[in-house]
Amino acid sequence: MSGVLQPHLGSEDLIRAASSYAVSLHDRHHDQLGFLPRDTFELAARRGRLLIATENGEACGMLLVGQRNHVLRIHQTCVEEDLRRLKHATEMVAAALSLPGLNQVRQIKLRVADDLPANQFWRAIGCRVTHQTRGSIRRGRLINHYYLDVRDRMQLALRLVQAVINTGKYSD
């Protein structure tokens, strides 16, 4: 059984456990994720901006979002390496769009380093690269800036389902 937890709806212990898991996941995949201070995750969990994907009752991924005006910004997303397929990330994106206060979101924006496999997921669900910029001098990566129009929620739902079907990677 899988699903998506919204820690802010749970107990104080759940908020702490979710933020601790997100910090751990972030630390293990720091080379693929941008830097964020550790306290960002607990604050996001309290504000309803951190989602945790689960598989068989265990945490297996996280999605950190923010919102400004009618734009949902996905700041970080990561799924445990052995469970990376469209299922968990798709569920987290859908759950993020269902968060209280986000029903007026018209678009999703995010940034992903060009050399990461995550680009396949974002393109599979219909995101398009609007432009590219250079990342930090230390890593020297090319960064893809993605955009996805989500005003038509039924069309978005169809794209999410179709992406999963096309890959044949949806399994429970």
DSSP 56: T
Can you give the pLDDT at residue 74? 94
Per-domain residue ranges for the chain?
Answer: 2-167
Sign of the alpha-carbon dihedral angle for 79, 81, 83, 85: positive
Q: In 3D, which of 50, 43, 81, 80 has the Cα closest to residue 65? A: 50
Can you give the pLDDT at residue 156? 75
Can you give the pLDDT at residue 165? 67
Residue 1 has pLDDT above 70, yes or no: no
CATH topology of domain 2-167: Aminopeptidase (3.40.630)
Q: What is the DSSP string of 1-18?
A: -EEEE-GGGS-HHHHHHH
The Cβ of residue 7 has, within 10 Å, a number of other Cβ atoms equal to 27
Residue 172 has pLDDT above 60, yes or no: no
The neighbouring-strand residues paired with 134 are 142
Residue 107 has pLDDT above 90, yes or no: yes
Q: Please give the order of strands across the beta sheet that includes 58-68.
A: 2-5, 50-55, 58-68, 71-79, 107-113, 142-149, 128-134
Q: What percent of the chain has pLDDT over 90?
A: 43
What is the pTM assigned to this prediction?
0.85
The Cβ of residue 62 has, within 10 Å, a number of other Cβ atoms equal to 31
- 169 vs 44: CA distance, rounded Å: 30
The neighbouring-strand residues paired with 146 are 110, 129
Residue 168 has pLDDT above 60, yes or no: no
What one-letter code names the amino acid at 113? A
Q: Which two tokens stand for residue 158?
A: 């169809």
Classify 101 in phi/psi space as left (phi over 0), alpha (psi -120 to 50) or beta: left
- Using CA atoms in the order 112, 98, 18, 67, what is the torsion angle rounded to 10 degrees? 50
DSSP 108: E
